[in-house]
Structure 1
Amino acid sequence: MNCLVVLVAGLILSASPGNALQCYFCLGSTQRCVTNTVTCSAGERCYLVTVEAAGATGYSAGCFPPAACNVQPTVPGASVSVSCCDTDLCNASDQVKLSLLLFPALVSVWFAIFM
């Protein structure tokens, strides 16, 4: 019974309230996008694109439809990384995928310790 309570509480705490996802927003910045925000449309996810070329790094962030999150563009002479996530302001860094893995990892640790 305690496991069920922990599982439900974890799901509630990791869920985004409503469909109004908040994401950091910038286009073609040389610094991480952590000042401006945007409210996404229903069903969209936060994204962060990082481009490295000729010793410089550029960032773009905002909202994407889920299908755009699966695209990994190829740019000759540059390294391009596209990351998406689905919690408020989760696109602050290139480690956005961590938030998607955090809850299952915590549940696994809980079961390993207390079961």
Structure 2
Amino acid sequence: MNYLVVLVVGLILSASPGNCLRCYSCSVSTERCVTNTINCSAGERCYLLLAGAAGAKAYSAGCAPPAACIVQPNIPGASFSCCNTDLCNASDQVKLSLLLFPALVSVWFAIFM
């Protein structure tokens, strides 16, 4: 019986809080937002806002409701993206490298196979 109580308590303590995401968070920064994290409310997504002008970049990251992720800002030099996995809003560079990986593998196979 004691083992059952310990097992149930262990399962409760190790349970994750539903569908909540952990996202990187900063209001406005000239550096990538990869130091502070925040736990989003259920249903929210991580976002990354990148604005650039005159060679300078500004970052903002955090949690956003799904409706905000549909709207794209009409600001020249700004990009807004949402994602739905833990800490997925690290930077625009990560997303670009993930998109380029299949292309690089295809080129490698075309050349060496």
Mark yes or no: TM-score above 0.5.
yes
**Residue 50 of structure 2 corresponds to which residue in structure 1?**
50
Structure 1 ranges of 4+ moved more than 3 A: 95-99
Segments of 5+ residues of structure 2 without an aligned counterpart are 1-15, 103-113
The number of residues matched between the two structures is 84
**1:39-88 deviation line (CA, Å, top 9, x unaligned):** 0001000000000112110000000001111221123xx41101110011
Name which of 79, 82, 85 aligns with 2:80: 82
Matches within 5 A, 1:1-115: 18-75=18-75, 78-94=76-92, 95-96=94-95
User: Residues 26 and 62 of structure 1 are in contact (CA less than 8 Å); yes or no, is this contact kept in structure 2?
Assistant: yes
| Cα separation, 1, equivalents of 2:53 and 2:47 | 20
User: Residues 72 and 80 of structure 1 are in contact (CA less than 8 Å); yes or no, is this contact kept in structure 2?
Assistant: no
TM-score (norm 1): 0.64
Q: Select the structure that is richer in helix.
A: 2
RMSD: 2.5
Q: Which amino acid aligns with 2:87?
A: L
Q: Which amino acid aligns with 1:80?
A: A
| Cα separation, 2, equivalents of 1:35 and 1:90 | 13
| Cα separation, 2, equivalents of 1:91 and 1:17 | 20
* 1:49 counterpart SS class: strand
User: Residues 47 and 93 of structure 1: is their aligned pair in 2 closer, same or farther, counting only changes over 3 Å?
Assistant: same
* 2:68 counterpart SS class: helix
| Higher CA-based Rg | 2
Q: Which amino acid aligns with 1:92?
A: A
Segments of 5+ residues of structure 1 without an aligned counterpart are 1-15, 106-115
Identity %: 65
